[in-house]
Amino acid sequence: MSDTTTTAGVAAGTVTATTGRAMSDQAAGPAPDMLAWTCPAPLRDQSRVVMGHGGGGALSAELVEQVFAPAFGGPELSSTTDAAALELGGARLAFSTDSFVVRPLFFPGGSIGDLAVNGTVNDLAMSGAQAVYLSCGFILEEGVPIDVVTRVADTLGAAARTAGVHVVTGDTKVVEAGHGDGVYVNTSGIGLIPDGVDLRPQRVVPGDVVIVSGPIGVHGVAIMSVREGLEFGVEIESDCAALNGLVEAMLAVTTDLHVLRDPTRGGLAASLNEIATASGTGVVLQERAVPVPDAVANACAILGLDPMYVANEGKLVAFVPRERAEEVLAAMRAHPLGAGAAVIGETVAEHPGMVVARTGLGGTRVVDMPLGEQLPRIC
Amino acid sequence: MSDTTTTAGVAAGTVTATTGRAMSDQAAGPAPDMLAWTCPAPLRDQSRVVMGHGGGGALSAELVEQVFAPAFGGPELSSTTDAAALELGGARLAFSTDSFVVRPLFFPGGSIGDLAVNGTVNDLAMSGAQAVYLSCGFILEEGVPIDVVTRVADTLGAAARTAGVHVVTGDTKVVEAGHGDGVYVNTSGIGLIPDGVDLRPQRVVPGDVVIVSGPIGVHGVAIMSVREGLEFGVEIESDCAALNGLVEAMLAVTTDLHVLRDPTRGGLAASLNEIATASGTGVVLQERAVPVPDAVANACAILGLDPMYVANEGKLVAFVPRERAEEVLAAMRAHPLGAGAAVIGETVAEHPGMVVARTGLGGTRVVDMPLGEQLPRIC
């Protein structure tokens, strides 16, 4: 990872900032009451929904584990996979759903229509499935220009054609002005899982090689920069893309990949932590090996973000048996969407469930599961 | 249909009301400029999204035909079926999606959780499919109490168990306060279409018998009454239910049903018009045969609504070959959700694409496709 990367995760970083403010308050008033300090990071024991519940981190997982799973969860419902693997009518299916509430609807390098297709295609691809059919549910806000809806639909259609999937069923609801944000889109997808493919964290064993398909943090920083009107010298374009072709190329080398994950909300850190926890192995990253483009590193340095926690849509992380890693890496690099693929670490028997990064200076740090989110509504 | 039913559709009714207001304005000012009149009914040539685009009527269909179908529609995407019938891995699948934005979240007889399950189960059932798997995507508004989310999840889980379907994959997004309405839910569903079943409007032929599974308008009026704080002497409870069991009982009589439809948004009138148009047959209703409970008829009379246009969720309309109609009707009546089933009309070769009601007085009226909606956000 680049030197410009901050060395603390978002939650810790936010607490530090608060401490800083409290310190300066101290000069102007009585000694601070440490017990009364409040922390702007999402608190875990909330009675109300906070933004962090949608952030793909620990709060999101708790909502699934404590609210949704007890209510309607069965053996198939998991907070640690993106798609369900199912058997139906003799076919091995993957099934996944994702709602898209990104703001703004159009951003450098993509739009909510691209995300709606690629997000679900990628969730299916992470189970090894080729996406075939998509559903598309729109929640439109009263008053949004039809032109905007048309533009979203057009980008969605173009993305579907690029990914080779068919939108076969849809639904539209309209909510009153002030109860939406222009356009929300849900897509659900069905894909076929090829014979012999069984991708899940439980298959990870110590000694697996961890490969990322390219530079991280680009999509999240692109959205953030346009939303906040920030300029970093160069325009950062989202790298949003459908990864089904890349996954197909990887599976052509061997169906024995252990697990794939697209590090969207919560970033690479969340994906690695989920896999470490679910597999009961430890992950050791070589921090300098994680590809972070300079523009992303610079933007993150300015914003106080850690690229490891920034969302991606168009990248994947793979846990691959050591003996096939070189071939898989070569196949990835031969694909346009894997040209920047790199080995970033390995799994170990030590510290099961924990992700540790070896820093450029020879030290180590724990890469925590994020609690909430750094960037709201990036997908 | 009950005598209390108004004889004009919603759009015409709304225009009348405007005319009335303009007339009284006239007394107090200059002569009205007829060309400058505006009409609160949804105009067809809108540059912005209006509530009617989500109403399940002509405006909804136009949005699909003019915006969505050109952008991403293929042969499978249709505005006239609730679920897509697909072939995948040798299995005959039905696939459907629906977003639920009902307000309030809890109402007499049900909740958004019940609707989210039953709505999608029923869309699948209308293709003859037994729903097997559901996805569930939540869009939560920041600040909504976790208790409310839990209650929604619990009702959703209970409804899934009642319907015999499994929620296997999910997603949660959080939007800032003021950009949602507590909880929006999308469900998508996959089901298996049994061999020999082929339900679609194109199979309807003149002479088919039109059967409705029970009294109409109950769900829509229940939502309306609680939302608007109206009381009609008796509390009207939503009859929201999963119809997969009823459909199974009907298919056990014969797989040769022609088409099924659950008359949700747009009511029975929209469903009949869609089928008439897509099949190229005419529909003749016996107005007095359409079962409308007194409480619904009274509420509609007070509110100036036509029960034919009020949304249902827990009722279906079937077009059945004449020679099997009696047996199918008997099977429906033997099922708890079809106890109030009734023959309400037939298809004819005359006036293809048009729905005509024979009134109790021996006259006829055209039952139009609704333009927008009578009741906003009832599912």
pLDDT one-digit tens code per residue, A350-370: 999 999 999 988 899 999 998
User: CB pairs below 8 Å between A and B: how many?
Assistant: 277
Contact status, residue A291 vs residue A217, Cβ threshold 8 Å:
no
Predicted pLDDT of residue B378 = 67
CA dist A4 → A9, A296, A300 (Å)? 14, 10, 8
Q: Show pLDDT as tens, one digit a residue, over chain A (379 residues).
A: 333 333 333 333 323 233 333 333 334 445 555 554 444 444 467 799 999 898 888 889 899 989 999 999 887 776 567 789 998 988 999 999 999 999 999 999 999 999 999 999 999 999 999 999 999 999 999 999 999 999 999 999 999 999 999 999 999 999 999 999 999 999 999 999 999 999 999 999 999 999 999 999 999 999 988 887 777 667 889 999 999 999 999 999 999 999 999 999 899 999 999 999 999 999 999 999 999 999 999 989 888 889 999 999 999 999 999 999 999 999 999 999 999 999 999 999 999 999 999 998 889 999 999 887 666 566 7
Q: What residue of B is the nearest CA neighbor of A73?
A: B167
The Cα B264–Cα B310 span in angstroms is: 8
Of residues B277 and B30, more confidence is placed in B277
Interior angle at CA A214, CA A115 and CA A9, nearest 5? 80
Parallel/antiparallel/unpaired status of strands B183-192 and A209-212: unpaired
Q: Which of A317-321, B71-75, B259-263 has the lowest mean pLDDT?
A: B71-75
Map residue B73 onto helix, strand or coil: strand
A71 Cβ under 8 Å from any chain B Cβ: yes
Instruction: Say which of B89, B98, B377 has its CB closest to residue A192.
Output: B89
Q: Are the Cβ atoms of B95 and A133 closer than 8 angstroms?
A: yes
* A201-366, CATH topology level: Phosphoribosyl-aminoimidazole Synthetase; Chain A, domain 2 (3.90.650)
> Mean of the pLDDT values across residues B68-80?
79
Predicted pLDDT of residue B284 = 98
Residue A157 neighbours by CB distance under 10 Å: 21
Which residues does chain B have within 8 Å of residue A141's beta carbon, measured at their own beta carbons? 49
The Cα A218–Cα A238 span in angstroms is: 6
Asked whether residue B139 carries a pLDDT value surpassing 90, the answer given is yes
A69 Cβ under 8 Å from any chain B Cβ: no
Q: Which two tokens stand for residue B182?
A: 């507590």
Asked whether residue B157 carries a pLDDT value surpassing 50, the answer given is yes
CA dist A339 → A40, A61, A331 (Å)? 39, 32, 9
Q: What residue of A is the nearest CA neighbor of B95?
A: A169
> Mean of the pLDDT values across residues B324-341?
98
Predicted pLDDT of residue B49 = 94
Work out the minimum CA distance from A120 to partner chain B, whole angstroms. Answer: 11
Rounded to the nearest 10 degrees, how much is the dihedral formed by the CA atoms of B182, B134, B341, B339?
A: -90
Residue A202 φ then ψ, to 5°: -65, -15
Which residues does chain B have within 8 Å of residue A171's beta carbon, measured at their own beta carbons? 97-99, 186
Which residues 114-133 on chain A approach chain B with CB closer than 8 angstroms?
132-133
Q: Residue with structure tokens 């109860």?
A: A179
Considering just the CA atoms, what is the radius of gyration of chain A in Å? 21
Of residues B257 and B10, more confidence is placed in B257
Contact status, residue A269 vs residue A367, Cβ threshold 8 Å:
yes
Work out the minimum CA distance from A256 to partner chain B, whole angstroms. Answer: 21
The Cα A246–Cα A316 span in angstroms is: 9
Q: Are the Cβ atoms of A157 and B192 closer than 8 angstroms?
A: no
Predicted pLDDT of residue A376 = 58
Parallel/antiparallel/unpaired status of strands B183-192 and B91-100: antiparallel
The Cα B59–Cα B290 span in angstroms is: 26
Instruction: Say which of A84, A101, A153 has its CB closest to residue B67.
Output: A153
Instruction: Quote the percentage of chain B above a pLDDT of 90.
Output: 71
Contacts of residue B116, Cβ cutoff 8 Å, sequence gap at least 6: B98, B100, B136, B156, B159, B185, B186, B187
Q: Are the Cβ atoms of A188 and B184 closer than 8 angstroms?
A: no
Predicted pLDDT of residue A371 = 82
Number of H helices, E strands in chain B: 10, 14
The top-scoring range by mean pLDDT among A298-307, B53-62, B85-94, B317-326 is B317-326
Q: Are the Cβ atoms of A50 and B133 closer than 8 angstroms?
A: no
Asked whether residue B368 carries a pLDDT value surpassing 60, the answer given is yes
Q: Which two tokens stand for residue A204?
A: 């990870």
Residue of B356, B366, B367, B320 whose CA lies nearest to B341 = B320
Asked whether residue B121 carries a pLDDT value surpassing 90, the answer given is yes
Predicted pLDDT of residue A194 = 94
Of residues B38 and B20, more confidence is placed in B38
The Cα A42–Cα B114 span in angstroms is: 31
Which residues 21-60 on chain B approach chain A with CB closer than 8 angstroms?
46-55, 60
Instruction: Say which of B71, B77, B137 has its CB closest to residue A97.
Output: B137
Instruction: Say which of B99, B138, B190 has its CB closest to residue A95.
Output: B190
Q: Where are the domains of chain B?
A: 79-192, 201-366
ipTM of the complex: 0.86
Predicted pLDDT of residue B188 = 98
Homologous superfamily (CATH) of B79-192 is PurM-like, N-terminal domain (3.30.1330.10)
Work out the minimum CA distance from B97 to partner chain A, whole angstroms. Answer: 6
User: Which ranges of B29-89 does DSSP label H, i.e. alpha helix?
Assistant: 58-63, 69-72
Predicted pLDDT of residue A9 = 31
Query: Looking at domain A85-192, does it have CATH number 3.30.360.10?
Result: no
Q: Which two tokens stand for residue B35?
A: 């060309």
